[in-house]
Amino acid sequence: MQIAVVGTEEFVTGFRLAGIRKVYAVAPDKLVETIVKVMDEEDVGILALYTKDLEKLPPQLRTKMMESVDTVVIPVGLDEGDMRDKVRRAMGIDLYKSR
């Protein structure tokens, strides 16, 4: 499974430098089209995007993305509680659990 990142050039640059191969730098008017395409790719297991971009998407697409089990969507820029739930859902373990 691959990790994909969708967003502006500024947003995706760090992910590209970190070695993520599926990086899509897109203009705001191509965001929905690109996300739908990436969500349909069978080898993508995790999709990261900027929280503000997620908020701009049509509600129906947002709901589909957040309920997807084939591709886990991780908005970057969430508070710790939401991120904890996303990581637990994506990995199946609670990395934040205190011992």
pLDDT digit string, tens, across residues 22-78: 999 999 999 999 999 999 999 999 999 998 899 899 999 999 998 888 899 998 874
Other CB atoms within 10 A of residue 39 CB: 18
User: Is residue 62 within 8 Å of residue 54, measured between CB atoms?
Assistant: yes
For residue 24, which phi and psi values (nearest 5 degrees)?
-120, 105
Residue with tokens 């969708």: 6
Fold that domain 2-91 belongs to in CATH: Rossmann fold (3.40.50)
pTM of the complete model? 0.74
Query: How is the chain split into domains, by residue range?
Result: 2-91
